[in-house]
Amino acid sequence: MLRSAFVIGASGAVGTQLVEALVSSRQFKKILVVGRRQIPLKHEESQIVVNFDSIEEHADVFKDVDIGFCALGTTRSKSGKDGFYKVDHDYVLNTAKVAKAQGVKEFVLVTSIGSNENSWFLYPRTKGEVERDVAELGFEKFLIVRPGFLEGPREEHRLGESLAKIFIKPLKLFSNSIAISTMDVAKVPTL
């Protein structure tokens, strides 16, 4: 039976590949891309522009949707500490709450390796907190995907990631858990 899905975070490195993987899987009759702005897509998915600060006003978007996919995120350098938390925690949690209230049964959340709500560091702590808080909503099925360092095309240049690639490349000879392609991350929830 074909299902319906929504994706938030479709403009990012993982989200772009996720939409492609969902379309290619042919398991969905409808795929809604929910975001802050229109983005160029290769296929004819429905795009819904929302204001994540007032996502509850867009509750109808999530009616008759079976599963939600979340690859939403930003960086501290791009949005600041408070902005990072707002996007990576609050927007994700509030969207999940509204979706659950509208009858969405399954939720897939892409976070990060090392997520830990008790971490002293902002990034893993935020990812751990959002995992905990979404889990507490009680979806029938809840999947957390925790990739390592992401390799793949990005719209913006990130100096820290460019430097990390130099050090990670030789380490990949010894372990395949250090880095993963965005395409491989996107395939996981569609299996």
Question: What residues pair up with 67 in beta bridges, in sequence order?
Answer: 5, 106
Structural domain spans, the chain: 3-190
- Phi-psi domain of 100 (left: phi exceeds 0; alpha: psi -120 through 50; beta: other): alpha
pLDDT at 172: 42
Q: How far apart are CA 91 and CA 71, in angstroms?
A: 11
pLDDT at 157: 46
Q: How far apart are CA 6 and CA 105, in angstroms?
A: 12
Which residue reads 């398991």 in tokens? Answer: 27
The phi and psi torsions of 108 (rounded to 5 degrees) equal -115, 125
The residues carrying an active-site annotation are: 123, 127
Indicate whether 106 pLDDT > 90: yes
> What global pTM score does this model have?
0.81
- Angstrom CA distances, 118 to 30, 92, 108, 133, 154, stand at 38, 19, 22, 13, 30
In this structure, which long-range contacts are made by residues 132-140, counting pairs with CB atoms below 8 Å and at least 24 apart in sequence? 133/89, 133/93, 134/92, 134/93, 134/96, 134/107, 134/109, 137/96, 137/97, 137/100, 137/107, 138/100, 139/96, 139/100, 139/104, 139/105, 139/106, 139/107, 140/105, 140/106
Q: What is the DSSP letter of 63?
A: T
pLDDT at 151: 52
Instruction: Single out the residue of 12, 45, 27 nearest to residue 189, CA to CA.
Output: 27
Instruction: Using pLDDT thresholds of 50, 70 and 90, give the confidence band for residue 24.
Output: confident
Q: How far apart are CA 66 and CA 164, in angstroms?
A: 38
| Residue 186 CA from chain centroid, whole number | 9
Instruction: Using pLDDT thresholds of 50, 70 and 90, give the confidence band for residue 189.
Output: low
- Which class would CATH give 3-190? alpha beta
pLDDT in tens, 34-51: 999 998 887 777 999 999
